[in-house]
């Protein structure tokens, strides 16, 4: 693997909730070994306020996070991506851009907490459910030997984290 932080891109349709949660959490959990990015195929243009609230409650500063198109990270001058993780079913079935360097891929499908209906407590529970699932998966990801693992073994290990 590269002699730099391991770059992980989280993709979702709107890039306002799940992928934002994943980017913020990996930034905190991954330390200097990982660098997190997120993007969407049809970005909402803003971070979901409950996603920002959930991250802030866990010590993650949400202010640098923003909803953006995956085109920003697929073009010339974009950072190289080592792993692309789709976190919503729509993004997994959509045509993704060709990523330079043939990154590893995984799908960690999770329900969209931004689509939750009900009162504030119900909506907050939806964000907590998704955030906690991502936190477990990302805690396991940062324990993987990304610097030295065989590419095929690493991809399989990352894909298996979807079950956690």
Residue 111 makes CB contacts below 8 A (sequence gap 6+) with 126, 129, 130
> Which of 92, 96, 128, 142 is labelled catalytic?
96
Residue 153 makes CB contacts below 8 A (sequence gap 6+) with none
What is the pTM for the complete model shown? 0.93
Arithmetic mean of pLDDT, 110-128: 95
Percent of the chain with pLDDT over 90: 75
Arithmetic mean of pLDDT, 63-77: 91
All structural domains of the chain: 6-158 (3.40.50.2300)
> Which of 8, 9, 12, 87 is labelled catalytic?
12
Q: Is 24 among the residues known to form the active site?
A: no
At residue 100 the predicted structure's pLDDT band, cuts being 50, 70 and 90, is low
Q: Is 121 among the residues known to form the active site?
A: no
At residue 1 the predicted structure's pLDDT band, cuts being 50, 70 and 90, is low
Arithmetic mean of pLDDT, 129-155: 96
> Which of 88, 126, 134, 154 is labelled catalytic?
88
Percent of the chain with pLDDT over 70: 91
Arithmetic mean of pLDDT, 97-101: 65
Arithmetic mean of pLDDT, 104-109: 92
Q: Is 88 among the residues known to form the active site?
A: yes
Instruction: Give the pLDDT of residue 96.
Output: 60
Instruction: Give the pLDDT of residue 80.
Output: 92
CA separation for the pair 7, 152 (Å, rounded): 17
At residue 85 the predicted structure's pLDDT band, cuts being 50, 70 and 90, is very high
């Amino acid at each position: 693997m590269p002699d730099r932080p391991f770059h992980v891109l989280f993709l979702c349709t709107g890039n306002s909730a799940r992928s934002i949660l994943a980017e913020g959490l990996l930034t905190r959990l991954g330390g200097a070994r990982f660098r997190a990015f997120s993007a969407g195929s049809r970005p909402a243009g803003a971070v979901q306020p409950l996603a920002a609230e959930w991250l802030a409650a866990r010590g993650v500063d949400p202010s640098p996070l923003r909803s953006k198109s995956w085109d920003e990270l697929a073009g010339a001058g974009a950072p190289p991506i080592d792993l692309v993780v789709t976190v919503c079913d729509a993004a997994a079935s959509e045509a993704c851009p060709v990523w330079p360097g043939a990154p590893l891929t995984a799908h960690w499908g999770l329900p969209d907490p931004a689509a939750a209906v009900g009162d504030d407590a119900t909506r907050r529970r939806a964000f907590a459910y998704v955030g906690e699932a991502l936190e477990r998966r990302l805690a396991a990801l940062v324990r993987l030997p990304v610097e030295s693992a065989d590419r095929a073994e690493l991809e399989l290990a990352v894909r298996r984290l979807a079950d956690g």
